[in-house]
Amino acid sequence: MELVCPAGNYPSLKAAVDNGADAVYLGFKNETNARNFSGLNFRDRKLEQSLTYARDHQVKVFIAINTYPQAERWQLWRDSIDMANALNVNAVIVADIGLMEYATQNYPELPLHLSVQASATNHESLRFYQQHFNIRRAVVPRVLSLSQVQNLVQHSPVDLEVFAFGSLCIMSEGRCHLSSYVTGESPNMCGVCSPARAVTWQHSGEVLETRLNNVLIDRFERGENAGYPTLCKGRFEVNERLSHVLEEPTSLNTMDLIPQLAASGIKALKIEGRQRSPAYVAQVVSVWRQALDAYYRAPADFRVDGVWKQTLKNVSEGSQTTLGAYSRPWQ
């Protein structure tokens, strides 16, 4: 299985490449990608430098143009497809049907991967994208159980890529507009769910408060880990009970499922985290490279090393991991 790794900037790209990535995915420095944070993404000289570094190390480069175009700025998304084609990247990750049509009509040889933002969870939807837009691969949304993923592989007309490690969302990929109720922007349209300009941190006595556009998202006691404020992972009072109402701050970790995912025919494992630091990317990619290499050396004897688990736990949200929707014993 191909190890597909995040590259939010040039140091992160180098970290991914140096630690064993088979492919890296990155975005242009605008709202055409779903990680449009200040200080992230690529343009001009750094973009050329990054492509050269990856190619010199035989690592594939995928460009994420995976937000939904806004009508008044349609040209920006078209220009991004034009640029990706001119750069001769290995694939473009897309979600919007209009943009897929533009790409296939103008650059029929440009490989397209269906983004998780397209939220395609069954083989008929995958067949639609393959027949109309010649999609080569699809990234599976994090809403399916392991058995559902295995069934999807059997009937899919294209190769499938699944998320292996990283941050979870509320599992409505491609359909989440939750943050727009607070900030006026959503990841699907503007590429960011908690824009830095809307985030504030302030102390109230011994308590650290996080706010999003002046809306209180969470409070943290002294010594408590404080995550980046997103609406879906805030703590709110419902029926007189304070809790993470929508989503726990935890990270997906599927390392225990490597044998099952490989046996099912999954073609690629994706590491989430273009917004993470180069040190995070280096640690996570290194551990996953070791695990995959160990599996392929001796599949029957594969065991998840305790050191790998601890390393991943240390860099996880809330220092905890989950199998997410993959584990549904009641099925």
Residue 41 predicted with pLDDT over 90: no
Classify residue 293: in a domain, yes or no: yes
3-state secondary structure 37-73: CCCCCECHHHHHHHHHHHHHCCCEEEEEECCCCCHHH
pTM over 0.85: yes
Do 88 and 233 belong together in one domain? no
CATH number of the domain where residue 76 is located: 3.20.20.380
How much of the chain exceeds pLDDT 90, in percent?
Answer: 63
Cβ-Cβ contacts under 8 Å for 184 (sequence gap 6 or more): 213
180 located within any domain? no
Give the Cα separation of 263 and 68 in Å (integer).
Answer: 34
| Of 182, 177, 180, 135, the residue nearest 156 (C-alpha) | 135
Across the range 299-309, mean pLDDT stands at 95
Burial (Cβ within 10 Å: 0-12, 13-18, ≥19) of residue 330: exposed
Count of domains forming the chain: 2
- Would you say residue 46 lies in a domain? yes
Q: Which residue in this structure is represented by tokens 């990247």? A: 89
**What number of CA atoms fall less than 13 Å from residue 326's CA on the CB side?**
21
Asked if residue 117 belongs to a domain, the reply is: yes
pLDDT at 177: 79
User: What sign for the dihedral angle of Cα 271, 48, 115, 38?
Assistant: positive
Residues 120 and 205 in one domain: no
Shared domain for 150 and 269, answered yes or no, is yes
Domain shared by 258 and 235, yes or no = no
217 and 127, same structural domain? no
Residues 8 and 90 in one domain: yes
Task: Write down the residue that tokens 């069954």 correspond to.
Answer: 122
- pLDDT of residue 173 exceeding 80, the answer is no
Give the domain range for residue 231.
195-243
Which residue carries 């994420």 as its tokens?
Answer: 64
pLDDT per residue as tens digits for the range 74-120 = 999 999 999 999 999 999 999 999 999 999 999 999 999 999 999 99
**Residue 181 counted as domain residue:** no
